[in-house]
Structure 1
Amino acid sequence: MSEPAVITSKSGRVGHLLLNRPRAINALTHQMVGILQETLDKWATDPQVETVLLTGSGDRGLCAGGDIVSLYHDARAGGSAGADFWRDEYRLNATIANYPKPFVAIMDGIVLGGGIGLSAHADVRVVTERSSIGMPETGIGFLPDVGGTYLLSRTPGELGTHLALTAGSVKAGDAIAIGMADWYVPSEKLDDLITGLATADPKEVLTGLAEPAPAAALLASREWIDECYAGEDLAAIVEALAAHDLEAATKAAETIRKKSPTSCAVTLRALRTAKAFATLEEALDQEFRLAVRISRAPDFVEGVRAQVIDKDRNPSWNPPTIAQLNADDIEAFFAPLPDELGLGKRANSKEKS
């Protein structure tokens, strides 16, 4: 018999959630979302569990995102499995953000997309020298979801806009600098961290193990990023990047032009809107609306095909360029759905300090 996709256990004062699909870098399935939600609901009132710990099995990463292959097949068939998955996934993200007990996420290795939703909303977020954290969705015709628009809209300056539109990733130092992580612990000390959590408060354990974070390379680029990414006009942003004297800026323009124009336009507007939201839940409500609609647009199926199914890395976007985007078409993605999440109406998100 195969091992379960999520292994739950208790040790001392810790309830341990282990994502267990190492060959897929622990990509998140709907079943896994259900197991995590059910377990967290139980542990919320379990006196034995004082701290929750989230880790990933294998040595490649915590979680490479959602299981987009199954979402691709569902979208091609015109099914509703995608909407069902995102509905439950986003509720799980909100549960983690508002969990009544300390939630420790070890963001070791690759942490992408849905993995961000499981970890970056936690109380205690630990990165290592192996961490690579990002939201690559514009490259597959989707958008940064799982609360990604909320997190990226709150980074210093326009760093989040840059990462979202270019589908970029960051290492440990920048992850802390932009507010997606809190503590830097070398991977060789992770076993000591996990052992220590069984008997002591997370911050007490981390104080003895954490080290100064590496330099934040992206943070040093704020001047040109803030200058070029200002405003709400995607075409103007790309033009500003292309006209800049720095090679990093012109490369960013080239990168964005290769992404889905529709996804980039939806993402930019979603970031600007999310910045004004008071809670994570409001952003998740908006992301659910956008995820359902964008998964039915042609670029999602085409993007996953090109990147994951056929792997030719040559998507045919529709429309193919930013100049051909229609403002009314982008506006339509944001219209209310008949069946909304409604998370923002009944929950208060906890800000990360």
Structure 2
Amino acid sequence: MPAAPDSTPADAPAVVTTVTGRIGVITLNRPRSINALDHQMVRLMDSALIAWADDPAIDAVVVRGAGDRGLCAGGDIVAIHTDAKALTGAGDEAAAASASAAFWRDEYLMNARIGDYPKPYVALMDGIVMGGGVGVSGHANTRIVTDRTRLAMPEVGIGLVPDVGGTWLLSHVDDELGTYAALTTTHLRGGDVIALGLADHFVAADRLDAFVDALVERPLDDVLAEFAQTPPESKVAAGREWIAKAFAADTVAQIVENCVATATPESFATAEAVEGKSPAALAATLAALRAAAGDASLRDSLVREYRSSLRCLQHPDLAEGIRAQVIDKDRKPKWQPGPADADAFLAPLPDHLELRL
């Protein structure tokens, strides 16, 4: 049951759903964009999840990406850029009426559904898994990484706060390794992802098709016992002692100071990586992570992330960050100086605008 190849026709459906035996497979099918999610894809995927949740003919669901570049590179960032340019300083009402807000509402609802899914939900986190790709995989009850996995939450690099439940996931990683991943946007390899508790099993990328085929015939636990391997050592987790101390601070400025004071090549590089990100997004992200650590559920974090996403849409750093990283690709964003009021990014919206999950 191989994934669709990179030669997928331009007019092919953006999400392909198939049923073989008692297994439902959802394939994100935009390989040219590394299966980046748009609103239509979220709706199609969520419709399949709803239909299969109560279907007695379906025992398990598999989610994978077409092509060999990755599961999903995130959301349709160019569309968000259009809204960000138009809505800078516009206010909550205007931001909530935008196409980006409508996309986020449906996406976050789907993320919550994945977190509560009543059947085995097997996410194949192969290749690039970023942003929205983490949202469709990180909340799964069975998360598979490979030797090709490159997982990241790169939001602070474009002026956004991690969303799709990212603050929930990262805030619950031990020893501040999740805070490190959020503020540096570092790419985590398969061994790192498992060490941080963001995935469950390691399967070689060249065995994924055989893995899915085996699920058609045999129970999930039996298939995992055959295909899962010992993951590689995590280079990120190897630094947990100094990272735990440096990233426990209450402000981004203090975290950077702590990294510099650690005085190793790795810690200096980490300080430089953090300093290159949006000051406003960094401050709001740190506050969001600390708040999410005390949340009762993923849904609580998603509600707060919806607030921060709307506030980022109104802040000039989002349009500028996307311009620099995705549109013009000069990699030289001109951030607004100094951290913004982090609490303002996370504060409740007017009641009629709040996300209802």
TM-score range, shorter chain: over 0.9
Partner secondary structure for residue 169 of structure 1: coil
Counterpart of 2:134 in structure 1 is 116
Structure 1 residue 233, shift from structure 2 partner = 1.4
Correspondent of 1:77 among 80, 83, 86: 86
Structure 1 residue 268, shift from structure 2 partner = 0.3
Q: Is the 8 A contact 1:104 1:202 kept in 2?
A: no
TM-score, normalised to structure 2, is 0.93
Q: Is the 8 A contact 1:51 1:102 kept in 2?
A: yes
Structure 1 residue 74, shift from structure 2 partner = 1.9
- The 1-side partners of 2:148 and 2:343 are apart by 39
Q: Which residue identity is paired with 1:35?
A: L
Partner secondary structure for residue 341 of structure 1: coil
Q: Which residue identity is paired with 2:83?
A: D
Which structure 2 residues correspond to residues 82-121 of structure 1 after superposition, within 5 A? Answer: 82-121=100-139
User: Aligned-residue CA RMSD in angstroms?
Assistant: 1.1
Indicate yes or no: 2:288 matched with 1:288: no
Counterpart of 1:332 in structure 2 is 344
Q: Which residue identity is paired with 1:44?
A: A
- The 2-side partners of 1:232 and 1:108 are apart by 34
Correspondent of 2:77 among 58, 68, 88: 68
Unaligned 5+ residue runs, structure 1? 344-353
Residue by residue, what CA displacement relative to the aligned partner does 1:243-265 show, whole Å, maximum 9, x if unpaired? 22211111111111110000000
Counterpart of 1:5 in structure 2 is 14
Structure 1 residue 342, shift from structure 2 partner = 3.0
Residue by residue, what CA displacement relative to the aligned partner does 1:35-66 show, whole Å, maximum 9, x if unpaired? 01111111111111110000100010000000
Q: Which residue identity is paired with 1:46?
A: D
Q: Which residue identity is paired with 1:14?
A: I
Which structure 2 residues correspond to residues 309-348 of structure 1 after superposition, within 5 A? Answer: 309-319=327-337, 324-326=338-340, 329-338=341-350, 339-343=353-357
Residue by residue, what CA displacement relative to the aligned partner does 1:260-298 show, whole Å, maximum 9, x if unpaired? 000000000000000011211100010000001111100
Deviates more, 1:331-340 or 1:274-283: 331-340
- The 1-side partners of 2:177 and 2:186 are apart by 10
Structure 1 residue 200, shift from structure 2 partner = 2.0
**How many residues are matched?**
337
Q: Which residue identity is paired with 2:47?
A: E
Q: Which residue identity is paired with 2:284?
A: V
Partner secondary structure for residue 157 of structure 1: helix
Which structure 2 residues correspond to residues 145-164 of structure 1 after superposition, within 5 A? Answer: 145-164=163-182
Partner secondary structure for residue 162 of structure 2: coil
Which structure 2 residues correspond to residues 50-65 of structure 1 after superposition, within 5 A? Answer: 50-65=59-74
Q: Is the 8 A contact 1:13 1:51 kept in 2?
A: yes
Counterpart of 1:229 in structure 2 is 247
Deviates more, 1:71-80 or 1:11-20: 71-80
- The 2-side partners of 1:286 and 1:37 are apart by 21
Indicate yes or no: 2:25 matched with 1:16: yes
TM-score, normalised to structure 1, is 0.94
Structure 1 residue 217, shift from structure 2 partner = 1.1
